[in-house]
Amino acid sequence: MTLQNNRPSSHATDWDDVEIGDAVHLRRGGRLEHAGRVDNRTADGAVVWVVSKGGHRQLFHVADGFELSVADPEGAGHADN
């Protein structure tokens, strides 16, 4: 089970509550597909760049169908990319 901090999960309309440096999980269909830290984001929260534990940097758009949640930094796991 993944712990989450006090910020609410971000869903389909925007990810404007996520901040650079946040540990995040991206799920689709309830399955964890990506995890890492937010490297950058657009001002409107529509796009985030996430760097995985292995250093892989990937862009995600809110319309890609992922549920993005901010993970507890102490309990954040990393999905294999």
The pLDDT tens digits of the residues spanning 42-75 come to 999 999 999 999 999 999 999 999 999 998 755 4
At 14 the pLDDT is 72
CB 59 within 8 A of CB 47: yes
Residue 76 vs residue 33, higher pLDDT: 33
Alpha carbons 62 and 48: distance in angstroms, whole number: 8
Average pLDDT, the chain: 81
pLDDT band at 20; cut points 50, 70, 90: very high
At 74 the pLDDT is 57
At 12 the pLDDT is 40
